[in-house]
Amino acid sequence: MALLLGDDAPDFTADTTAGTVNFHEWLGDGWGVLFSHPADFTPVCTTELGTVAKLKDEFAKRNTKVIAVSVDPIESHKGWVSDINETQNTTVNFPIIADPDRKVADLYGLIHPNASNNTTVRSVFVIGPDKKVKLTITYPASTGRNFAEILRVLDSLQLTANYSVATPANWNEGEDVIIVPAVSDEAAKEKFPKGWNAIKPYLRVTPQPNK
Ligand code: BEZ
């Protein structure tokens, strides 16, 4: 059974490039991103992990820890990290889980047998401070991810966790947001003192409330 939004993010203890990690303990009270890649020493994965390393400050700004996983063993990960650092001009600064027995892969449904029987797909899980799954995205091995989108989604998830708003298509931090339909106009007057533009009664646009 696949992990669904709102489910508990499964806990585990695993060997990583940063030592043994107990996942929930390691996450602490903040947000987390767990992302899988098909295999070490492959070109697209090399660019992905390098990209994530360069976004360290962006994830930190969002109080978010990042952890990668594939079914390769720890020695392979360690060797590959040198290649990532060299070719992507960065320093890998997050743990990579070694999952040769597929414990994490099974818990998170990272192997899609009709895509590949023995490698993990490119999945992303965003986990909230309550250890619930807030977002899942899955890409095939042939398509590298857009990590700017992961940061954008984190901004939306963190905003909408705290305010009665939703974010429209292609929204970016700082842009106008939508008042959720469950909030009456009466209640909105108190919650959104900057006011709103009612394009339709169900489509009320307001400035981002925490700006
Ligand atoms: C890659 O990371 O380049 C890759 C990995 C598995 C299949 C295809 C591409």
Structure confidence by residue, pLDDT tens digits, 68-99? 999 999 999 999 999 999 999 999 999 999 99
Residue range 7-34: average pLDDT?
98
Q: Which of 142, 143, 145 to mutate to test the pocket of ligand 1 (most atoms within 8 A of CB)?
A: 142
- Is residue 68 within 8 Å of 37, Cβ to Cβ? yes
Is residue 141 in contact with ligand 1, taking CB distance under 6 Å?
Answer: yes
Residue range 54-67: average pLDDT?
98
Band of pLDDT at residue 30, cut at 50, 70 and 90 = very high
b/e map 98-116, b = 16+ CB within 10 Å: bbeeebbbeebbbbbeeee
Phi and psi angles of residue 61, each rounded to the nearest 5 degrees, phi first: -55, -30
**Tally of CB atoms within 10 A around 181:** 12
Structure confidence by residue, pLDDT tens digits, 120-147? 999 999 999 999 999 999 999 999 999 9
Q: Which of 37, 45, 47 to mutate to test the pocket of ligand 1 (most atoms within 8 A of CB)?
A: 45
Q: What percent of the chain has pLDDT over 90?
A: 99
Average pLDDT, the chain: 98
Is residue 39 in contact with ligand 1, taking CB distance under 6 Å?
Answer: yes
| Residues annotated as part of the active site | 45
* Burial of 117 per CB tally in 10 Å (0-12, 13-18, 19+): exposed
Band of pLDDT at residue 23, cut at 50, 70 and 90 = very high
Output the pLDDT for position 178: 98
Is residue 143 in contact with ligand 1, taking CB distance under 6 Å?
Answer: no
Output the pLDDT for position 1: 72
Is residue 113 in contact with ligand 1, taking CB distance under 6 Å?
Answer: no
